[in-house]
Structure formats: structure tokens, C-alpha cells
Amino acid sequence: MESLGNALSYCDPFPGKRSSLEILINPQAGSIKNSSKLRAIIQELKQWQTGRTKPPGRELHLQIHLTETRSHAQQRALTRVESILEDQWSQEKILVLAGGDGFHKDICSALMRQNSEALKKMYLLRLPLGTGNDASDCSSLTEALDILSGPCRISLRPALSVKAKGLPVDYAFNIVSFGLDAYVSELTEKWKNRMKGDIYKIMVDLSVLFYDKKYPIKESSIKLISPQGEISYIRGKMLLTVIGGRGKSSYGGNKNILPDEHNVLLARNLPIWRRILLKGAFMKGHHIGLPQAEFYNANKMELNYPQDPLLAQLDGEVLALNGGNFPVIVEKIPRTLRVLQKEYKRENNPW
């Protein structure tokens, strides 16, 4: 925390304005819990400060908080957000989340459920300190500090609401998927602290072989509503069903499952030998054009499934569904998160 505080003393996200900056840190995040990665983070923070001068006349109120459990993190976020919104001194209010995708999802979901109006009055920056970091708003701490050094611009990001029959409404902020990759997420969460290496790839290799031994694949009935209001009905045995808040999205540690502008992927079931041959293409984002991969654009998906278990994953968090939970409706909520990005100066074009 001391190293981060020192680095942030060089930051001024909104020069000329009074700003409040609240940082919530998950000390159990993968990059913090791992001692070698933590040392690398501290070194990165020190290197970023080299040669910099502190901004003159900066008016920034900074507070850093460590969280404990998931519920504590959510409650702490709600309390701190309420506090900074009530603060009359600051003109700009910023919440920085330092953790992984699960930490980001927990806090943003809590805000969606209990204080969604707050998201319209503050800015968000999610740091990549977890295992996968696909829902973070920057690729490194250096990039995050560059953003917080200002001047900033605002990028509006969507959310996804997930309504399953008989369950509370849930939210995701990157990708919701059903089928094989939810099983990968289940195995990854179970084994990530017990194994070294690319744990996600190892679990993909195992899931390709054994997924439908544990979860037999039955026919899905899927209804998609496009941004233009057009309705598509698709039926079939799906190995993988994916919907993102937007296209060009990844999961599993930068696996480009939605590699172009489409935000929906339906991958039909394949024999095991075909899965083995094609899994590399899906892992590398080279599955565009494959007959087994169907891409769509949709603002809403309705999924029906027989009276059999089906796994879903919401930004890496696994949800076990059964026949009583269908239909499941996933709906895109546009312009939900006000995310900080770096404002790059445009050079004059002599032409």
C-alpha cells in the first residue's frame, strides 16, 4: 500500500479540478498473493515514478482500503461510494478496484443492485491484479497510473443482466457463457491455487475430453434479439454459448472468444477428436469462418434447456442451473459503467 500511495502522489486525473479517489484493494488477488508477482508490482511502481515530478496545485483527496471477505468488499464499496457522493468538496469522484475479475464483478454487481444511480455520478477504473484480468480497464499498473495522471476521457461500458427463473438477478461486465467453458471456469477455480503454469489451458484440455461425461449435452432452444429488434431462433446441441457486453472480448486470460464485432457465439457440439483439433483455433481467436462457430449480434438472449444440469459462468463466477431455472434471459444494459481512459492529444495533421 505504501508503494501504491507513493506512486499515486504523482497523479492528477482531472487537472484543475478537485477530485476524490477511493481505492479498494483485494489482498487475496492472484498478483498480490503471489510473492514474486508482488515484488514485480512494487518494482513496476518504483520505475514508473522515476524522473517524474509531482503536479503543482493538485487537489486530490486519496484513500486506500484493504478488503477482507467478498461480503466485506461489497459492503465497503457501498459505504465508500455513498461517502464520496455525499462529499461536496470534490468535483470528480473516482472508484479504483484493485483485484481480479471476480472482485470487480462482486463490487459492480453490488452497486447495480443497491445503488445503480451512483454509477452515473462517478468514474471507475479496474486494475489487472487477478488471474485472468479480462474485465480490467487497463493492461498493467503502468497504464493505470498513466490514466490517473490525467487528463482523462470517459468510456461508457455495458453490463449484462442475468435473470434465471427462481434465482436473484445477477450481473456480469464482460462475458456470460453456458456449457464447456463454464466447466473450465469451475475446474480453474478449484485448482488455480494448487497448480503452476497456464492453469486455464490445462483445464481446457481436460474439459474437452470430459465435459459431457459429467454434463451430457442436450438440445438448447435459443432466442436472440438483435440491436435492430430482429428475432432469431436457433436450436441444437451447443458445446458453448457465449454472449458479451460487446464484441472483441476475451476471457480465461486473454483468450479471444469474441474476436470480431459480434457479441454472441454459438458453438455446436463436436466429437471429441474434432474438439481436440479445433480447440487451438478457439483459444487463439481463429474460429471465425468455422462452420461449427456461429456469430451474431444481440442485445438479448433467451435460453431454454431440458431438465438437466447446465453450468453458466459470469465473468468467471460459476452458476449451476437446472431445469427449474429456465428460461434464462441475458440482456445487455448499455452505457452502464463510466470508465476512465487516457486522453491522448491529437497531433495536427499537415495534410
Domain range summary for the chain, segments of one domain joined by +: 2-150, 162-335
Residue 346 has pLDDT above 50, yes or no: no
Q: How confident is the model at residue 308 (pLDDT cuts 50, 70, 90)?
A: confident
Percent of the chain past pLDDT 90, that is, above it, reads: 82
Q: Tell me which fold the domain 2-150 belongs to.
A: Rossmann fold (3.40.50)
d(CA 190, CA 177): 18
Sorted by sequence, the CB contacts under 8 Å of residue 304 that are 6+ apart come out as 220, 221, 222, 326, 327
Q: Is 89 exposed, middle or buried (0-12, 13-18, 19+ CB in 10 A)?
A: exposed
3-state SS class at 71: helix
Q: In whole numbers, what is the pLDDT of the chain averaged over residues?
A: 92
Set of cell numbers at residue 5: 500511495
Q: How confident is the model at residue 348 (pLDDT cuts 50, 70, 90)?
A: very low
Q: Residues 211-228: what's their mean pLDDT?
A: 96
Find, among 91, 92, 95, the residue nearest to 79 by Cα: 95
Q: Is 307 exposed, middle or buried (0-12, 13-18, 19+ CB in 10 A)?
A: exposed
Q: What is the pTM of this model?
A: 0.92
Q: Residues 143-147: what's their mean pLDDT?
A: 96
Sorted by sequence, the CB contacts under 8 Å of residue 176 that are 6+ apart come out as 160, 162, 242, 243, 244, 312, 313, 314, 315, 330
d(CA 128, CA 24): 13
Find, among 168, 174, 202, the residue nearest to 188 by Cα: 202
Find, among 216, 209, 206, the residue nearest to 179 by Cα: 216
pLDDT recorded at residue 131: 80
d(CA 296, CA 304): 18
Give me the amino acid identity at 7: A
2-150 matches 162-335 in fold: no
Residues 275, 239 contacting (CB under 8 angstroms): yes
Q: Residues 260-284: what's their mean pLDDT?
A: 95
Q: Tell me which fold the domain 162-335 belongs to.
A: Tumour Suppressor Smad4 (2.60.200)
What is the SS3 assignment for 212-259?
HHHCCCCEEEEEEECCCCCEEEEEEEEEEEEEECCCCEEECCCEEEEC
